[in-house]
Structure 1
Amino acid sequence: MSFKIAIIGAGSVGFTKKLFTDLLCVPEFRDIEVALTDISQHNLDMIKAILEKIVEANGFPVKVTADTDRRRALEGAKYIISCVRVGGLEAYADDIRIPLKYGIDQCVGDTICAGGILYGQRNIPVILDFCKDIREVAAPGAKFLNYANPMAMNTWAAIEYGKVDTVGLCHGVQHGAEQIAEILGAKSLSELDYICSGINHQTWFIDLRLNGRKIGKDELVAAFEAHPVFSQQEKLRIDVLKRFGVYSTESNGHLSEYLPWYRKRPDEIARWIDMSDWIHGETGGYLRHSTETRNWFETEFPQFLASAAKPIDPTKRSNEHASHILEALETGRVYRGHFNVKNNGVISNLPADAIIESPGFVDRFGINMVSGITLPEACAATCMASINVQRMSVHAAVSGDIDLLKLAVLHDPLVGAVATPEEVWQMVDEMVVAQARWLPQYADAVPAAKERLAKSTVKTRDWAGAARRNVRSIEELRAEKSALKKAV
């Protein structure tokens, strides 16, 4: 088969490499064209070199191109994959730093909460530019696969305003299933059957079966509490499981910032998180991890390039959805996964316009969602709080309405549990002013925001958060990796 795939934000080097290698695990896909595009020529040069090394090592006739001209990269593409982070780590640092001045402690800050909402404001205008290009220069009927966060907001904007055939993809469900399979003693993941449904990063395992036997709440709680690692790393998730009766897909750190109960008091945060890795609740954990990963890659690029000169092993294909979806669409081989799409009645007790994440099957007829799912009431209530924030955030991002943006942030569960309305209004002004270069839709609102900040009497504080760690140096990372190898 010969067709073109474009990857926007291909400078996300490690993730692009994984997607590319997965695609080449499909025998029919070894004559495709993969067009890489990014605003960074430096990153494009690095990832192109790595992918060309993979192609050369495996002797496939795959064509790899790289271009900072996005429209040229999208010309004739049948599939477009987005991995963009608008504003990069510089803007992301503000997503974490500024809310901390108002007492809002985030682990990730890329989905909702103050950081995720502002991230969406930066991304959505760019996502709509992508959609315009797709409509104008991509292949007719091209499919847009969005991997970028905030997943629900980006996908919502692309469908409602971009008018492009879009699906949002995330790996949270797969990771949660792997945990459950491990604690239940499954010999392989294939022994576990599950229905997982909700919204991105708040999906719930509402039906679990191990070798056909239904797994209930009590058995699941006991298995998690008996696990020597997860019992410490997932304390918050286990508490939610006990109270809601179902397990959440999302990591301890991610889940903690979508709820109003666990991160609102600094002295309580340590009780619910684990510092063994960033993902379990560390303040600004993903920002630190992303910064270290970027620095490591820049320094160790020759090693990454050398490691690309290896034969592809199809048995090591990842569980990222993209290659499996494209394989199903192109070959008709059926794939079952969990996809972010507009609800339209799939989940009976969530709004029709919401972007849900729920089971579906893919074949040559497209993505077909399993309908008629009803979430437990507590799960639906938690999802609804986020959906209302997402809807206002999307509409604010499209209209440039700073008052609606402030209302969206005010209604965020964690923000509302921590900050007063006056603090929220000032915080949003401060974030919009700090990130103005990435927020063209708010250009007319920035001067007034600056004036309000100059006259403000709302007090802030210089706070690093309840559980912050410094970015490690390359030398520290090398020493840690060396110690791990010796331990193994």
Structure 2
Amino acid sequence: MSFKIAIIGAGSVGFTKKLFTDILCVPEFKDIEFALTDISEHNLGMIQAILDRIVEANGLPTKVTATTDRRKALEDARYIISCVRVGGLEAYADDIRIPLKYGIDQCVGDTICAGGILYGQRNIPVILDFCKDIREVAETDAKFLNYANPMAMNTWAAIEYGKVDTVGLCHGVQHGAEQIAEVLGAKSPSELDYVCSGINHQTWFIELRLNGRAIGKDELVAAFEAHPVYSKQEKLRIDVLKRFGVYSTESNGHLSEYLPWYRKRPDEITRWIDMSDWIHGETGGYLRYSTETRNWFETEYPQFLEAASKPIDPARRSNEHASHILEALETNRVYRGHFNVKNNGVITNLPLDAIIESPGFVDRFGINMAAGITLPEPCAATCMSSINVQRMSVHAAIAGDIDLLKLAMLHDPLVGAVSTPEEVWQMVDEMVVAQAAWLPQYADAVPAAKERLAKSKVKTREWAGAARRNVRSIDELRAEKAALKQAG
């Protein structure tokens, strides 16, 4: 087979390498072309060198090109994969820092909540540019695979306004299933059969079977509470399981941002999170992790390049959806996964226009969703809160409507639980002004926002959050990795 895959945001080096090696685990794909594109020539150069080394080490005819000219990369591409982070860590730092001044403590802040909403405002104009290029220069009926957050907003914009065949992909479902299989004592995650449905980062395991035996709430609660690690790291998720009756896919820290009951007061935050790793609830945890990972890669790049000389091992192919979707579409080997698509009645008690994450099957005819799923009422209710915020946020980003943006922010569950309307109005003004370089649709609104900020009497505070950690130095990271290696 010979076709072209374009990867936008390929400078996300570690993730691009994973996608690349996964796809080349499919024997029929050895003759394909990868076109890498990014705004950073530096990062492009690093990732191209790594991928070229992989191709050479494995004796493959695979072609790898890299360019900062996005349209050139997209020319004649059959598949386009996006893993962009618009604004980079600079804008992301403001997504965490500014809301903290108004008492809003986020662990990740990339889906909804204050940070996720502004992240969507930065992403959506760029997503529409991608879609325009795809329509104009890619293969007819090219498929857009979006890995970038905020997943639902990006996918919503690409489908509704970009008019491109789009699917959103995330690995939260797979990770949650691995946890459940582990606590139940399964020898392999393949022993667990499940139906998991909802919206991205609020997906729910509504049916579980281990080797054909149905698993109920009480058994699952007992299994998690008995686990020596998860009982400490996933306190919030276990509490939600007890109250809702079903387990959520999302990490302890992420879930705490969508359910305001756990994160609206500093003393409650420390009660429900775990500081053993960022993902369990640390203030700005993902920002710290992302910063450390970038610094580590820049410093240790020679090691990453050396590791690229190893043979590709199909047995180590990851459970990221992309390679499996492409394999199913091109070879007709059926793949079952969980995909972010427009609802259109797939989930009976969520809106038709919402972007849902639910089970589907892929073959040469495309992605075919399993329809007729009804969520438990509490799960549907929490999803609806986010969907309403997502819809307003997408519409605000398309129109450059700062008033609608403020209303979307006000309706966010955690923001609304912590901040007053006056605080929300000022916070949005401050975030839009700070991120104006990445918000072209709000250019006309920025001068008035600056004037309001100059006259505002709303008080703020400098607050690091309830559970903030400093970014570790390279030496500290080396020492920690050495200690873990020795202990292991």
Query: Is 1:402 aligned with 2:402?
Result: yes
Matches within 5 A, 1:149-188: 149-188=149-188
Aligned equivalents of 1:309 and 1:352: distance in 2?
A: 48
Query: Is 1:106 aligned with 2:84?
Result: no
Matches within 5 A, 1:75-114: 75-114=75-114
Aligned equivalents of 1:188 and 1:382: distance in 2?
A: 31
In the alignment, what sits opposite 1:138? 138
Which amino acid in 1 is paired with 2:468? R
Query: Is 1:474 aligned with 2:449?
Result: no
Which amino acid in 1 is paired with 2:269? I
Aligned equivalents of 2:62 and 2:486: distance in 1?
A: 39
In the alignment, what sits opposite 1:221? 221
Which amino acid in 2 is paired with 1:415? V
Matches within 5 A, 1:407-446: 407-446=407-446
Which amino acid in 2 is paired with 1:363? D
Query: Is 1:328 aligned with 2:328?
Result: yes
In the alignment, what sits opposite 1:269? 269
In the alignment, what sits opposite 2:35? 35
Which amino acid in 2 is paired with 1:143? K
| Deviation, structure 1 residue 259 | 1.1
| Deviation, structure 1 residue 267 | 1.1
Aligned equivalents of 2:189 and 2:333: distance in 1?
A: 20
Aligned equivalents of 1:327 and 1:352: distance in 2?
A: 29
In the alignment, what sits opposite 1:16? 16
Q: Over the residues paired in the alignment, what is the CA RMSD in angstroms?
A: 0.2
Aligned equivalents of 2:486 and 2:260: distance in 1?
A: 42
Aligned equivalents of 2:413 and 2:18: distance in 1?
A: 34
Which amino acid in 1 is paired with 2:340? N
CA deviations on 1:53-79 (whole Å, 9 max, x unpaired) are: 000000010000000000000000000
Query: Is 1:5 aligned with 2:5?
Result: yes
Matches within 5 A, 1:188-203: 188-203=188-203
Three-state SS of the structure 2 residue aligned to 1:409 is: helix
CA deviations on 1:121-159 (whole Å, 9 max, x unpaired) are: 000000000000000000000000000000000000000
Which amino acid in 2 is paired with 1:221? V
| Deviation, structure 1 residue 260 | 1.5
Aligned equivalents of 1:252 and 1:350: distance in 2?
A: 24
Which amino acid in 1 is paired with 2:395? H
Three-state SS of the structure 1 residue aligned to 2:145 is: strand
Three-state SS of the structure 1 residue aligned to 2:144 is: strand
CA deviations on 1:295-325 (whole Å, 9 max, x unpaired) are: 0000000000000001000000000000000
Which amino acid in 2 is paired with 1:122? R
Aligned equivalents of 1:95 and 1:188: distance in 2?
A: 39
Q: Which range moved further: 259-268 or 106-115?
A: 259-268
In the alignment, what sits opposite 1:313? 313
Which amino acid in 1 is paired with 2:416? G
In the alignment, what sits opposite 1:292? 292
| Deviation, structure 1 residue 350 | 0.1
Aligned equivalents of 2:3 and 2:59: distance in 1?
A: 18
In the alignment, what sits opposite 1:50? 50
Query: If the length of structure 1 is used for normalisation, what is the TM-score?
Result: 1.00
CA deviations on 1:345-369 (whole Å, 9 max, x unpaired) are: 0000000000000000000000000
Query: Is 1:128 aligned with 2:128?
Result: yes
Which amino acid in 1 is paired with 2:98? I
Aligned equivalents of 2:97 and 2:371: distance in 1?
A: 41
Aligned equivalents of 2:143 and 2:38: distance in 1?
A: 19
Aligned equivalents of 2:268 and 2:414: distance in 1?
A: 14
| Deviation, structure 1 residue 328 | 0.0
In the alignment, what sits opposite 2:344? 344
Three-state SS of the structure 1 residue aligned to 2:362 is: strand
Which amino acid in 1 is paired with 2:164? V
Identity %: 90
| Deviation, structure 1 residue 333 | 0.1
Aligned equivalents of 1:213 and 1:355: distance in 2?
A: 31
Aligned equivalents of 1:184 and 1:225: distance in 2?
A: 11
Aligned equivalents of 2:323 and 2:268: distance in 1?
A: 42
In the alignment, what sits opposite 1:279? 279
Which amino acid in 1 is paired with 2:4? K
Q: What residue ranges of structure 2 are gaps of 5+ in the alignment? A: none
Which amino acid in 2 is paired with 1:163? K
CA deviations on 1:397-436 (whole Å, 9 max, x unpaired) are: 0000000000000000000000000000000000000000
| Deviation, structure 1 residue 192 | 0.2
Give the number of aligned pairs: 488
Three-state SS of the structure 1 residue aligned to 2:203 is: strand
Q: What residue ranges of structure 1 are gaps of 5+ in the alignment? A: none
Which amino acid in 2 is paired with 1:147? Y
In the alignment, what sits opposite 1:486? 486
Aligned equivalents of 1:193 and 1:98: distance in 2?
A: 42
Aligned equivalents of 1:147 and 1:297: distance in 2?
A: 21
Aligned equivalents of 1:365 and 1:126: distance in 2?
A: 29
| Deviation, structure 1 residue 168 | 0.1
Aligned equivalents of 1:258 and 1:77: distance in 2?
A: 37
In the alignment, what sits opposite 1:239? 239
In the alignment, what sits opposite 1:365? 365
Three-state SS of the structure 2 residue aligned to 1:305 is: helix
Which amino acid in 2 is paired with 1:307? A
Aligned equivalents of 1:141 and 1:21: distance in 2?
A: 25
In the alignment, what sits opposite 2:382? 382
| Deviation, structure 1 residue 268 | 1.1
Aligned equivalents of 1:485 and 1:266: distance in 2?
A: 35
Which amino acid in 1 is paired with 2:99? P
| Deviation, structure 1 residue 190 | 0.9
